[in-house]
Structure 1
Amino acid sequence: MRKVGVLVVSIGILLSFVLLFASGDTNQGPKFAYIDSTKVLQSYSKFITLQAKYQEDAAFYQKKLNELAAEINSMKEQGVSEQEINKKIAEYSQKQQQYSQMLNNEYQPKFSQIEQEILEKIAQYAEIMGYDFVFNSKSMAYGNSKYDITAQFIEYLNSAQ
């Protein structure tokens, strides 16, 4: 779940610095807009599906860790030697790191791919709509709601799948 938070922050930072130049009338000045990356992610079916699969896999590994923890508690109750208990605790720690690494190796590239996909769709949408700059609402101190294109972008994103 921590990786999803990192993903949301990454998207926010990247979106904040995405400067999109479209052909527009320079006499009128640049055309600005912003989106809420959290709402975009929560509405994007590919992200929702991947997040569900990640949570399913994380729950599977957590169940395995819980079984090891129960085994350790049982060993303590049975009066097994400290040395044996410490071996089992070491195994638990090793498995915990292994499972975390496995999840990270499998899902981080997939989350990054979705992030890149969204950034590309933002660029396409901005060009189509004539925006010069699209910012992320998370990195702004204030944004007038008339410049919020989140709902329109979500429609575009989901229709483009």
Structure 2
Amino acid sequence: MKKVGFLVVSIAILLSFVLLFAGGDTNQSPKIAYIDSNKVLQSYDKFITLQSKYQEDAQFYQKKLNELAAEINQMKKDGASEQELNKKLAEYTQKQQQYSQLLNNEYQPKFSQLEQEILQKIAEYAEIMGYDFVFNSKSMAYGSPKYDITDKFIEYLKSAQ
């Protein structure tokens, strides 16, 4: 008898939950959109400026490496010993790693900060416009163009700068 009473109470609780969640407004579906993050980045002034600075620094370090490579080639032409060439090649490799690390240490935090800034702006825009979900087009197999809010978001982003 106790088992039947427990079963009736369990079914009643389960039925209550089903009715509670099913009784909501089923006509209103979530408002969904997506953004092309590459397009957003390519039009964001702060990103463009940072990318330009990164390219300048990368070119500066590449120029230094090219000078070192020219020195190695000249050493080969001049008949330098294998030991001297290996020493210079090791220096080249060490400099290449050093420059790469310098660029990464300087720019990775800045790019991450910009990414967080854009994500925050997306969240602000989504709340203002009433979106429940905003996806990144890079992680979608397909998205109907009618849900693409990239251009509208870029306008918002530029007005917020």
Same fold at TM > 0.5: yes
Aligned to 2:156: 156
Cα distance in 2 for residues equivalent to 1:54 and 1:30: 40
Cα distance in 1 for residues equivalent to 2:93 and 2:41: 33
Q: Which runs of 5+ in 1 are unaligned?
A: 1-24
Q: Which runs of 5+ in 2 are unaligned?
A: 1-24
TM-score using structure 1 length: 0.83
Number of residue pairs matched by the alignment:
137
Question: Which structure 2 residues correspond to residues 64-75 of structure 1 after superposition, within 5 A?
Answer: 64-75=64-75
Runs ≥4 in structure 1, deviation > 6 angstroms? none
TM-score using structure 2 length: 0.83
Aligned to 2:89: 89
Rg comparison, structure with higher value: 2
Name the SS for the 1:58 alignment partner.
helix
Percent identical residues: 84
Query: Which amino acid is 1:103 matched to?
Result: L
Aligned to 1:118: 118
Which structure carries more relative contact order (alpha carbon 8 Å, separation 6+)?
A: 1
Aligned to 2:146: 146
Cα distance in 1 for residues equivalent to 2:77 and 2:85: 11
Query: Which amino acid is 1:41 matched to?
Result: L
Aligned to 2:108: 108
Aligned to 1:34: 34
Query: Which amino acid is 1:55 matched to?
Result: Q
Cα distance in 2 for residues equivalent to 1:130 and 1:124: 10
Name the SS for the 2:131 alignment partner.
coil
